[in-house]
Amino acid sequence: MPPPPSLHIVIVDTNRLRAAILEEGLREAGHDRVTVIGEMTHLVRRIVEADPDVIFIDLENPNRDALEQMFQVSRTVRRPIAMFVDKADSSAIEAAIDAGVSTYIVDGLRKERVKPILDVTITRFNAFNRLRTELDQARQALEDRKVIDKAKGILMRSRNITEEEAYTLLRSTAMSENRRLADVAHGLVTAAKLLG
């Protein structure tokens, strides 16, 4: 069985010495695909172009602009992000987590800690992503249910049929057109608005 592919990790740090500590720790942990970004200008574009699996960012003392860039990065690339800072600040921690940071490390920049930090960052990101996916699916199911109920109501009124007959008609139409039931229902609701 071939070994798993090495992760591509981006390190964002304007301080070359700190970036070198992270890079050395990652390489010692077996991760050779490391890209260092030493400037904060056009950060989102640089990260998108690098297309990393994980992002390590060292901000020393994160300010509002740096955290806004993290919001942009996390919304654009949706990758595990570990943020290294020098001092604990509860408002900065909250803002960083809201920005999509998976792991917030205070005063923890030592190369021997890099591997466990990487593992925790990926694990937390994956757990959060599963929760987000489940929430999105639940929201979509609720929206689908609402539009199906509206479509059944339209059919019941216009054809003078029961709820069960309306559902059967929607379902058979969806099957014959090889479409999702919610999509057929949405089309019916939209058409009824146009005609009504």
Q: How does DSSP classify residue 41?
A: T
Dihedral over alpha carbons 130, 131, 132, 138 (to 10 degrees)? 110
Element containing residue 52 per DSSP (H, E) = none
pLDDT, position 44: 87
* Cα separation values, 131 from 128, 135, 136, 172, 193, Å: 5, 6, 9, 33, 35
- Domains of the chain, by residue range, sit at 8-109, 135-195
Give per-residue pLDDT as tens, 11-46: 998 889 889 989 999 999 889 999 999 888 888 899
Single pTM value for the model: 0.70
Second CATH level (architecture) for the domain 8-109: 3-Layer(aba) Sandwich (3.40)
Comparing 8-109 with 135-195, is the CATH topology the same?
Answer: no
Q: In a 3-state reduction of DSSP, which class is residue 45?
A: helix
Fold of 135-195: Arc Repressor Mutant, subunit A (1.10.10)
Give per-residue pLDDT as tens, 169-183: 999 999 999 999 999
